Chain A
Amino acid sequence: MTGLPLPLIQGLQVITVAAGAPGVSGFIAWVEARLRGRRGPRISQPYFDLAKLFRKESLAPPAASPLFRLAPVVSFACYLTVPMLIPVLTSYPLPLGYMGDILGGGLILAFASFLVAAAAAETGDAYAQLASSRAKTFAAITEPVMLLVFFTVALITTTDLPYVLGATVRSGPDQIVRPAHLLVSAALFMVILYETGRIPVETHTGTTEFGMIESGRPFEYSGPDLALLHWGSAAKQLVLYVIFLNVFVAPWGLASSRSAIAVALAIPAILVKAVLLGCAIAVLDNSYAKLRLFKITEFVSAALLLAVLAVFTLYLGGG
């Protein structure tokens, strides 16, 4: 069978996420602007921003340790490790796909987020510290939801490998309408909304420091470091979208063989799917008022409810 070598496809997955992520963010920003009746930035604006930042100089606060300079690089590397573990382009598992399951991917994402928060905490900037302590506090209350989502995936497929769940969802309509699958997808969607800074409290591109959680942490960064952080958060958003789409909700349009055409078609397919999901999220984001910060528990308790019910229905045999 002629086709692309597997390591090349594996590399293409990472490149797709790294190169496509700013574009997806740019498109969502454009849709948001159109929804509010503005003309909006160019879709390629994030690429220009990154190019501009990479040409500038990086400054660090005098008291900061080497961790401050290390965090953007390592967290960016973490965000680009996850695309090796999840189905981005192919429906069949690639060699490194067995390196870690969904739990492993979640751990890598959490580690990256921890590094950024730790680096922000040692800058001495009040707002960066506020943001990092908030990010960790609320990460602790969304974590049970994620764990229950993983448990449900494990109960459905008896493994935590994302490829298996994708194949299970593709196997027939009975797998799609089963309540456990619908509930767990909804719970994951709510967590993704929270993780990408959409709902319930944070404004995605906001400038008010008091509403900031994730976006408040890179306050002290400049130049290439800031570019890596921005790029990393765009990559994280795309990785989460890919997990949601290619594993849970719409695992179609993936390459099922190693032929160059199939793989080449899978790249625009995932980007289009991510952009459509981004449009849906932008509409949702703009049709709800932001909540007060401490109302975040209501949002998370709703996600927890969905995930708990998914496990319950599975145990009762009807899920």
Chain B
Amino acid sequence: MFLAYNPSVPSVFSGTASTIALIVLLLEFGMLRQALLRGQVRLYAGQSLAVSALAAVVAFGHNVPELYALAVLSLLLKVIAVPLLVVGLLREAPDEIAGSGAVSVANAVLISIAVAAFGFFAVGVLGISSDVLPTVALSLAMAVVLVAFILMILRRDVVSQAIGFFSLENGASLASLVVAAGMPLILEVAFLFDLLVAVVVFGLLARTHHRRAQSLSTETLDRLRG
């Protein structure tokens, strides 16, 4: 008979927090293969929900009441308002965005794994430690940002590129939860409304693009017109 061996096990709190941060990253990877416009928006809503949940978990675990306010606000804005706005602006567009990747999905995932690994270990060696969240969450936030870049580079449709940009902000707010959980609420709120402006601008651009080109693909944009 032997006992379970565990050199260093994260506590239940930090395990849960890292798992939620991981879900944010996994949903980012899901965006690489999503074939439907509404599915892509739904993935973004799910990712924002995970970020809000993480804010609530940190608020609960460390008694930071203002993070509850942030969680509720980001829930209202990023999980409900932004997806409704994007879907509303692109109501006339077809739902199909499959096959817009420059490389196949499996290759895109492999490239993203490599880039995410770079982000992981680049942040890991910095040795930034936080008193509210495990350090691995910061590495995950970095990976989310880098995979969002890959998403915007590899997928050639306006919806994925816009959603990639919005999810970049999700990665940034994940990072801000780790390094500066007590960041003044007013600053966070300013970021959120900044995002809302970006959503309106991107939504209108995508809508205009669809009206002109009759497609969501950006491949028609590299042609010169007289």
A298 at the interface (CB under 8 A from B): yes
Q: Decide: A318 and B4 in contact? CB cutoff 8 A.
A: no
Contact of A298 with B106 in the complex, beta carbons under 8 Å: yes
Given known A-B contacts A174-B11, A179-B22, A168 and B136 have beta carbons under 8 A apart: no
Q: CA of A57 to CA of B18 in the docked complex: distance in angstroms?
A: 58
A167–B109 touching, CB < 8 Å: no
Tell me, in angstroms, the Cα distance from A159 to B117 when the chains sit together.
25
Q: How far is the CA of A172 from the CA of B12 in the complex (A)?
A: 9
Verify if B14 is at the interface (C-beta below 8 Å from A): yes
Question: Closest CB-CB distance, A270 to chain B, in whole Å?
Answer: 21
How does the 8 Å CB contact mask read for A151-190 relative to B, with 1 for contact and 0 for none?
0000011110000100110111111011100110000000
B214 at the interface (CB under 8 A from A): no
Q: Which residue from B18, B33, B106, B116 sits with its C-beta under 8 Å from A319?
A: B18
Which residues of B are found within 8 Å of A175, using beta-carbon distances?
4, 6, 9
Contact of A312 among B2, B14, B117 (CB under 8 A): B117
Which residues of chain A have C-beta atoms less than 8 A from B135's C-beta?
316-318
Q: Which residues of B contact A308 (CB under 8 A)?
A: 113, 117
Interface residues of A in 6-33 (CB under 8 A from B): none
Contact pick for A313, options B4, B12, B18, B105, CB 8 Å:
B18
- Give the number of residue pairs across the A-B interface with Cβ within 8 Å: 103
Contact A319 B113 (CB under 8 A): no
Whether A157 touches B16, Cβ cut-off 8 Å, given contacts A174-B10, A313-B136, is: no
Residue of B nearest to A168 (CB): B4
Cβ contact of A318, chosen from B5, B10, B33, cutoff 8 A: B10
Q: Say yes or no for B190: interface residue by CB 8 A criterion.
A: no
The answer to whether the Cβ of B3 comes within 8 Å of any Cβ in the partner chain is yes
Check B14–A302 contact: CB distance below 8 A.
no
Interface status of B224 (Cβ within 8 A of chain A):
no
Q: Determine if B175 is an interface residue (Cβ-Cβ < 8 Å).
A: no
Given A301-B110, A316-B124, residue A177 in contact with residue B4 (CB < 8 A): no
- Contact of A168 with B6 in the complex, beta carbons under 8 Å: yes
Contact B6 A319 (CB under 8 A): no
A167 to B5, CA, bound (A): 9
User: CB within 8 A of A178: which of B3, B5, B10, B137?
Assistant: B10
Residue of A nearest to B108 (CB): A301
* B10 lies within 8 A of A167 (CB): no
Name the residue on B nearest A171 (C-beta).
B4
Chain A positions within 8 Å of B124 at CB level: 315-316
- A170-B5 contact, Cβ under 8 Å, with A177-B19, A178-B15, A316-B139: no
- A219 sits at the interface (CB 8 A): no
In the complex, residue of chain A having the shortest beta-carbon distance to the beta carbon of B3 = A167
- Interchain CB contact (< 8 A) of A182 among B19, B33, B105, B109: B19
Q: How far, in angstroms, from A72 to B109 measured CA to CA in the complex? A: 38
Please pick, from B4, B117, B121, the residue contacting A164 in the complex, using a CB distance under 8 A.
B4
B103 smallest CB distance to A (angstroms): 12
Q: Are B15's CB and A301's CB within 8 A? A: no
Contacts of A170 in B (CB 8 A): 4
Flag whether B39 is at the interface (Cβ < 8 A).
no
Q: Residues of A contacting B7 with CB < 8 Å?
A: 158
- Closest B residue to A298 by beta carbon equals B105
Complex interface residues of chain A between 75 and 105 (CB less than 8 A to chain B): 92
Q: When the two chains form their complex, are residues A179 and B19 in contact, meaning their CB atoms are under 8 A apart?
A: yes
Contact A174 B15, CB 8 Å, known A164-B5, A298-B33, A317-B136: yes
**Contact across chains for A312 and B6 when beta carbons are under 8 A apart:** no
Which B residues lie at the A interface, using CB under 8 A? 1-12, 14-16, 18-19, 22, 25-26, 29, 33, 104-106, 109-110, 113, 116-117, 120-121, 124, 134-137, 139
9 smallest beta-carbon distances between A and B, as pairs: A318-B136, A168-B4, A297-B106, A177-B15, A171-B4, A301-B106, A301-B109, A167-B4, A318-B134
Residues of chain A at the chain B interface (Cβ within 8 Å) = 92, 156-159, 164, 167-168, 170-175, 177-179, 182-183, 297-298, 300-302, 304-306, 308-309, 312-313, 315-319
Q: List 28 A-B contacts (CB under 8 A).
A: A156-B6, A157-B4, A164-B4, A170-B4, A174-B15, A177-B15, A177-B19, A178-B19, A179-B18, A179-B19, A297-B105, A298-B33, A298-B109, A301-B106, A302-B109, A304-B109, A305-B29, A306-B26, A308-B117, A312-B116, A312-B117, A312-B139, A316-B121, A316-B136, A317-B135, A317-B136, A318-B137, A319-B136
